[in-house]
Amino acid sequence: MTRLVSTSRGSNDQAFGASEWALLAVPAFIWGASFYFIAVALESFPPQIVTLGRIAFGFAALSVMARVRVPIDVGDRSRFLLLGVLWMAFPFAMFSFSEQWIDSAVAGMLNAGTPIFAMLVGSLLLKSMPRWVQLAGVALGTIGIGLISWPSLGEGSVSALGVVMVIAANVSYGVALNLAVPLQQKYGGLPTIWRTQMVALAIWIVPGLWAIPDVDFAWGPMVSLIALGVLGTGVAFVLAATLAGRVGGPRASILTYFMPIVSIALGVLFLDEVITGWELVGAATLLAGAVATSRRERSKVRIISRAG
């Protein structure tokens, strides 16, 4: 999940045309497919390399854009260091490790709860009580997470650990999204993402390279890893930022709610994953909670969520 800042004026009320729908659909599909890409990449690569690869390929994809190279103040270096840990290094690893034990579709469904954690962290930082609609959203989200998690929890302690890892990643995203706002307002969305990728890359390069002896190379997983990085951690950010600039963050953020649909479809169709009725009910409940909590923001800074 990511937060992109839209500061453009005048064009935010325009109707969606063909190009706007494309800018919405493509990143929604890419981020929803990230969980599938992780699952396939894990067939050949250990989680450490999956984590390193998605960061490295994403960083390389954004590095070709000159506008990401914005000088930063010395005083903001520690903030970028913390953001690199909480926004990418830690949550990316949690998804990579968790999908060793839980289905990609389950991870995708659980990731829909990120806006709820972002709202809760924001309320704590601002020392403000959420409105009743946000509290109702938290309640719905909690029920949804429970329904989605229940089948995996029943499969044993290892599957339960996978669920906990995804929830931990969501909490990390929730903290990071609130920390990212002032940096994005100051430097812009894409430069902030690029600097964050740089920090995460520095953190994971040694653990990733250390795991090379455990690789059982195959081209299919390699292509998935490249797609996970270049598309999921690179191209999708650019497209989502472009959409937010055209129609505003609030309207662009609806791409969030298509992502679980993609993760479920790909998991069922191509990985033979089985989704129970309770998990589908849980996903719908969790999404309803995420929509409710996301309604809080009314300023120019808005949320666009990212998966996996």
Residue 161: pLDDT above 60? Answer: yes
The span from the CA of 57 to the CA of 60, in Å, is: 5
Residue 238: predicted pLDDT: 86
Residue 248: predicted pLDDT: 63
User: Residue 264, Cα to own-chain centre: how many angstroms?
Assistant: 16
Handedness of CA 221, 267, 148, 134 (dihedral sign): positive
Q: How far is CA 187 from CA 76, 238, 243, in A?
A: 11, 15, 18
Spatial contact of 14 and 244, defined as CB atoms under 8 Å apart: no
Domain regions of the chain by residue span: 18-294
Provide the 3-class DSSP secondary structure of residue 93: helix
Work out the percent of the chain whose per-residue pLDDT is above 90: 56
CA-based radius of gyration for the chain: 18
pTM equals: 0.88
Per residue in 175-211, pLDDT (tens digit) is: 988 888 889 889 988 999 999 999 999 999 999 999 9
Residue 243: predicted pLDDT: 80
Count how many Cα atoms sit within 13 Å of the Cα of residue 139 in the half-sphere of its side chain. 7
Mean pLDDT, all residues of the chain? 86
Residue 267: pLDDT above 60? Answer: yes
Residue 114: predicted pLDDT: 84
User: Residue 294, Cα to own-chain centre: how many angstroms?
Assistant: 15
Residue 2: predicted pLDDT: 47
